[in-house]
Homo-oligomer: A and B are copies of this chain.
Amino acid sequence: MGGDIGPAAIVGGMARALRKDKSLSFDLFGDEAVIAPEVARHPALARAITIHHTTEKIESDEKPSQAIRRARNTSMGLAINAVKEGHAHAALSGGNTGALMAIAKLALRTMPGIDRPALAALLPTMTHDLVMLDLGANTECDAQNLVQFAVMGAAYSRTVLSIDRPRVKLLNIGTEELKGTDELKEAAALLRDATYLPMAFDGFTEGDKLSRGDVDVVVTDGFSGNIALKTAEGTARFVTDLLRRAFTSSLRSKAGFALSKPALNLLKVHLDPNNHNGAVFLGLNGLVVKSHGSANPKGVANAIGVAARMVRNDITNKIGQDLDEFRAHAFADEAEA
């Protein structure tokens, strides 16, 4: 596994994941001089890890176009290549997202039936985490892209979150059938007819309904998805900042905070990005997981857990089967018409 973020968090996360799941093993790509001391701090990790030394790495501000050209010997490039060559089941990185997507797409190629891969991540709600995709891989999408995202998101929900028949909605600016772009309306019509797919398609949802917890998968183009995810993150931080300001505004409120602290910790846990870590790049011939750049060991362990569940439940195959079914029905419908 490659990682451009703090090696202490990455290695600590691996140790933590290994404690939960003894069958894991790791290939770690990076500067051995930096990594080895960290690994030494986790004796149990020694037998499960192989360090592949390289000092080259993709910088966090490097453009994807440049990253592709010099990927070969970087920790990120080597980690993805290990998946391509079948030496690893999944690659995980905490580095530059754009570069990761570009290198992964070029090395692993999109799987049959997928026109464009998508970035999926988990969003906390009142009840359970929902899967949202695409989050920025594709700024513009047609109806077929959106349908493929729905198939991939539902497979993620089934394999990672163990939801048998995920409720899927398209993100729109209204819930009425006439709202939104032509692409959205067409995708909705296609998904409404595809009742044989292992998902419950339920029309449109809106930005203010994302946190309700009444949907398992939210499908959107990468532009709107990125705007929605980041706005949700920013607003949650904004409200908790206001809350902090309120609690520190007087002695009395400080005392109230001290009393409420155990309860408020539940709120903190609920919103902590480390508990929802592990964005996934879906639709490639191989699994690539993106860890938050600022994830702690718990966050990295969660991202590793996401990768392991996808591998064990063979998500790539499940997506392929669902797409075959979709195409077979579409073909039959055409032949009938």
Contacts and interface: CB of A to CB of B under 8 A. Distances in A.
A284 B242 CA distance: 37
A15 interface: no
A176 to B, nearest CB: 8
B266 A249 contact: yes
B267 A243 contact: yes
A229 to B, nearest CB: 7
Interface string A195-231: 0000000000011111110000000001110111111
A237 B263 contact: no
Contacts of A255: 256, 259
Contact of A267 (B222, B227, B242): B242
B239 A239 contact: yes
Nearest to A241: B126
Contacts of A240: 239
Given A238-B125, A258-B256, A173 B207 contact: no
A227 B230 contact: no
Contact of A206 (B206, B230, B239, B270): B230
Interface of A: 63, 125-126, 136, 139-140, 171, 173, 178, 180-181, 206-212, 222-224, 226-243, 245-247, 249-250, 252-253, 255-264, 266-267, 270-271
